[in-house]
Amino acid sequence: MSALPPTSTVPARIPGARFIHSPGPTRVPDEVMHAMQRPMMDLMDPRVAAVIASCEAGVRRLVRSGRADVFFYAANGHGMWEAVTTNLSAPGKALLVAGGGHFSDSWAMQTEVLGSTVLRTPYREGHPIDVAAIEAALRDDRAHRIAAVLVVHTDTSSGITSDLGAIRRAIDAARHPALFVVDAVASLAAAPLPMDDLGIDVLMSASQKGLMMPPGLGVAAVNARAMAFSEAHPGPRFYWDWVRRRSDLQYRKFCGTPPLAHLQGLEAALGLIERETLDGVHARHCRLAGAVHAAVGRWATAGVLGLHCRVPRALSASVTAIEVRAGSGVDPEQVRSVARERFQVAIAGGLGPLAGRVFRIGHLGDMNEATILGALAGVEAALRVLNVPHGPGALEAAIAALSREPGGDG
Ligand SMILES: *Cc1c(COP(=O)(O)O)cnc(C)c1O
């Protein structure tokens, strides 16, 4: 068998399937695929309105908000960044991007290019968002120019999750009226995101990660305060405009034809999440993440590999970034390529400043104990093939972590 990818655009059939452990796109369950393959309907078919209403209600339950307006777009995460910032930008106002890694850098850059004034807080590699820096920036802003604080909950490039409750408290402590906006692309349906309890004004996400769907559907949940801001500041926007989309007319609600297949898929995905229960989904993500962290701890004993995240409580439930010691000569892209082409485990590489320094194992979405053990075994096999020094006992540590009593702390 050659290690080269097939040249045809039709992938070769892989016996037993290739495990997809990138932190997006993630595995799509059969139930979701089947729902997306249902026939198209004419837009006046009452079933269309029923699917949309079901998706809106399901998202409200997922973010535990009774009142938020829910908007869907045919868009990926970058599109949702633009949906949010075009609705919250206004002349004379600024947006404060909480520094947290590659994704906050990209969001800030995109927002600046669109013409908004962007302020940023600094971040330290390997650490979650600096909450005190947010509070200081807000206290300095006596004129209340800052309209919103933009926070990436889980930075997918580093596998670090920041404490949203602490950020909410910092905004309150500064007595600043800024809106609290959260990018939950990598954390929605993997970690709890009770929007109303956390005082989140806008929460945005995309379909291809915890929501277990193909890429292409964006979602935003927007509370009354954020709607009022958007209404009061009608900027140059049309497709993204929340005020225009807040309508019962489907053609207004979606600014054109709704992405029907994706909405049918989302309805099915939300149904799967509710059948497992939201608490069950979150607990499963914690359990599987714990197994990966335990395994990496053993690999690390040889001194070359280790967790990129320096703060154990900030380790993400969605994805783990494994850092390669500088100067060790280990190429994470080679690990990734051998794991995918020879052992059928697709993982992710480093992004932005972490390119060439980490590889990442995604553990969010449609996964279970067997898939996570298979993924760890495939990665370890790639480490062995490439003679990457790694300590023994990683699979045993993962099995031990998964064998503990649910809810126990042994
Ligand atoms: C994946 C991701 C994005 C970007 O999503 P795309 O669909 O690739 O545009 C934005 N933010 C976070 C936190 C992500 O994980």
Which is nearest to 200 in space by CA: 67, 391, 353, 357? Answer: 67
The two tokens of residue 313 are 């409580």
- If you average pLDDT over residues 8-24, what whole number do you get? 87
Looking at residue 10, its pLDDT comes to 72
- If you average pLDDT over residues 70-93, what whole number do you get? 98
Rounded distance from Cα 78 to ligand 1 centre (Å)? 6
Residue 286 has pLDDT above 70, yes or no: yes
Measuring from atom 12 of ligand 1, which residue has the nearest CA? 185
Instruction: Assess whether the C-beta atom of 183 lies below 6 angstroms from ligand 1.
Output: yes
Task: Give the chain's mean pLDDT.
Answer: 96
Instruction: Assess whether the C-beta atom of 78 lies below 6 angstroms from ligand 1.
Output: yes
Instruction: Assess whether the C-beta atom of 104 lies below 6 angstroms from ligand 1.
Output: no
Atom of ligand 1 nearest to the CA of 81: 10
- If you average pLDDT over residues 89-97, what whole number do you get? 97
- If you average pLDDT over residues 147-156, what whole number do you get? 98
Residue from 185, 208, 209, 360 whose mutation best tests the ligand 1 pocket (most atoms within 8 A of CB): 185
Three-state SS sequence of the chain: CCCCCCCCCCCCCCCCCCEECCCCCCCCCHHHHHHHCCCCCCCCCHHHHHHHHHHHHHHHHHCCCCCCEEEEECCCHHHHHHHHHHHHCCCCCEEEECCCCHHHHHHHHHHHHCCCEEEECCCCCCCCCCHHHHHHHHHHCCCCCEEEEEEECEECCCCEECCHHHHHHHHHHCCCCCEEEEECCCCECCECCCCCCCCCCEEEEECCCCCCCCCCCEEEEECHHHHHHHHHCCCCCCCCCHHHHCCCCHHHHCCCCCCHHHHHHHHHHHHHHHHHCHHHHHHHHHHHHHHHHHHHHHHHHHCCEEECCCCHHHECCCEEEEEECCCCCCCHHHHHHHHHHHHCEECECCCHHHCCCEEEEECCCCCCHHHHHHHHHHHHHHHHHCCCCCCCCHHHHHHHHHHCCCCCCC
Question: What is the distance between the alpha carbons of residues 38 and 34, in angstroms, rounded to a whole number?
Answer: 7
Confidence band (pLDDT; 50, 70, 90) for 162? Answer: very high
Looking at residue 235, its pLDDT comes to 86
Characterize 316-329 residue by residue with b for buried, 16 or more Cβ atoms within 10 angstroms of its Cβ, and e for exposed: bbbbbbbbbeeeee
Residue 410 has pLDDT above 50, yes or no: no
Measuring from atom 11 of ligand 1, which residue has the nearest CA? 185
Atom of ligand 1 nearest to the CA of 186: 15
Instruction: Assess whether the C-beta atom of 24 lies below 6 angstroms from ligand 1.
Output: yes
Instruction: Assess whether the C-beta atom of 211 lies below 6 angstroms from ligand 1.
Output: no
Rounded distance from Cα 21 to ligand 1 centre (Å)? 16
Instruction: Assess whether the C-beta atom of 82 lies below 6 angstroms from ligand 1.
Output: no
Confidence band (pLDDT; 50, 70, 90) for 9? Answer: confident
The two tokens of residue 404 are 């503990």
Confidence band (pLDDT; 50, 70, 90) for 361? Answer: very high
Rounded distance from Cα 53 to ligand 1 centre (Å)? 25
Task: Give the pLDDT confidence of 193-238 residue by residue, as tens digits.
Answer: 999 999 999 999 999 999 999 999 999 999 999 999 999 999 899 9
CA dist 161 → 119, 186, 220, 234 (Å): 21, 10, 20, 33
